């Protein structure tokens, strides 16, 4: 049908179809975005208690602080709290912005955004997956010596997003 030759009634119907498609497309996109944000929260295991984290952090060899105001952090990607590295374990008391597929890496130097981390990722040591957003405890793999690194970063592997970082040496 030629749009120019369309009757007023068919033009109204075409407008309704366009409005329908746009509104429903936006609603679907919003639902998918909300699902991506909420799913990690809904399936997250119970976080370790403050007492459990304190038992690990009491034996700390190194300590650091994640801060919200790093250049690579934003309102959706941030972390704030205290991190401790003891013999064989990393513990965190604080809060991370919810998201999927968070991983903790030890890095040779402090990185404060995606680009800096990507340059050092192959020199960094993967410690483990972070499954909780309030407190966590991770076992450090036996082949990793935290003393051989200076900093750590929380990284969202799925989206390649910097979350937060801290220097511990």
Token pair belonging to 54:
């304190």
- Which sequence spans correspond to the domains of the chain? 1-43, 50-167
How far is Cα 63 from Cα 65, in angstroms, rounded to an integer? 7
pTM, 2 dp? 0.79
pLDDT reading at 108 higher than 70: yes
DSSP element (H, E) containing 107? strand 102-107
Residue 101 phi, psi dihedral angles, 5° rounding: 55, 45
Could you say which DSSP state residue 147 is in?
A: G
> What are the tens digits of pLDDT across the range 109-122?
999 999 999 999 99
Look at 39 and 140; give whichever has higher pLDDT: 140
Rounded to whole angstroms, how far apart are CA atoms 9 and 40? 48
Out of 20-34, 36-50, 141-155, give the one with best mean pLDDT: 141-155
């Amino acid at each position: 049908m030629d749009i120019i030759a369309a009757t007023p009634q068919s033009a109204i119907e075409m407008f309704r179809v366009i409005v329908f498609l746009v509104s429903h497309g936006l609603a679907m996109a919003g639902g998918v975005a909300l699902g991506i944000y909420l799913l990690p929260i809904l399936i997250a295991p119970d976080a370790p208690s403050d007492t459990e984290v304190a038992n690990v952090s009491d034996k700390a060899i190194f300590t650091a602080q994640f801060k919200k105001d790093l250049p690579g952090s934003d309102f959706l990607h941030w972390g704030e709290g205290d991190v401790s590295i003891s013999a064989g374990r990393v513990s965190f008391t604080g809060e991370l912005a919810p998201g999927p597929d968070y991983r903790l890496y030890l890095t040779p130097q402090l990185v404060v955004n995606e680009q800096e981390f990507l340059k050092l990722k192959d020199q960094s040591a993967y410690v483990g997956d972070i499954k909780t957003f309030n407190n966590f405890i991770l076992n450090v793999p036996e082949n990793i010596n935290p003393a051989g690194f200076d900093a750590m970063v929380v990284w969202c592997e799925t989206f390649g997003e910097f979350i937060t970082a801290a220097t511990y040496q």
